[in-house]
Amino acid sequence: MAALTVLALLVIAGFVKEISRTPVSARSAALTATTRVASHSPSPRPSPSPSAAAAARQVTDGSSGLSYRLLSRPWQRGCPGVLDTPVFSWTAGEHAVAGPADIGGTVIDWHGNACSGLLQQDFAYSGPADLEPVATAVAAATDPAYYSGLNHDRTLEGSSAMQVSGRPAWLVTFSMTYPDAAAEGLAWTGEEGAVMVVDRGAGATPALFYASVPGNLGRGTITTLIDSLRLAGAGRGD
């Protein structure tokens, strides 16, 4: 064992002696290189530009020209295809699952929705003077189209003239209450809804926005969506 210890000490002494012969500059260079390797890290990715970040947080409908806020999770892009009917056709939107609903013994996923498209020809429109009656008719038409499967009471909350990016518009808001919510398996007892019709100028079909949000997906969501509405190419005149 003593012999092995002596041999080890001789090897270490030789190594130290050899290192001592290395010029200081060379040792410094080696140390610097080692330090550089140890501290190297991947270059940070550039942050998205403000315009790109804003675009990622909104829904843009190339058909109607409308854009609006993309809500945070559980909301996701896309208007559910089941909302397309002979009366309504949607070209963009977002949705979130509120929970199950028992409709006549069939359990389905009930969604909160925010969808946009062009006003269908079923609703006669000849200019801004028609905004109020058309918006009122659209809001009434959503009832049998989307809510008939559940026992509900509908209340008109408001009807008012608006502007979207300087263009005349009309907003109708309503609420739904579900008196048999527990029996129908609902995790909510009420739902907020809104319809907005936006005039896009002479000869252009009006833009249509529809939103319906069950209470368990957040109160005030309708206001957030309406406040975020914008119309591309607006302000150019008729």
Question: pLDDT tens for residues 137-161?
Answer: 999 999 999 999 999 999 999 999 9
Using CB atoms within 10 A of its CB, is residue 233 exposed (0-12), middle (13-18) or buried (19+)? Answer: exposed
Spans of all domains in the chain: 2-39, 50-231
pLDDT at 208: 98
- Cβ contacts of 232 within 8 Å, gap of 6 or more: 60, 65, 66, 67, 165
Question: pLDDT tens for residues 43-94?
Answer: 444 444 445 555 669 999 999 999 999 999 999 999 999 999 999 999 999 9
Q: Is the pTM of this model over 0.85?
A: no
pLDDT at 27: 32
Question: pLDDT tens for residues 90-137?
Answer: 999 999 999 999 999 999 999 999 999 999 999 999 999 999 999 999
CA distance 166 to 222: 20
**Positive or negative torsion for Cα 140, 142, 147, 149:** positive
**50-231 carries CATH number 3.10.20.600:** no
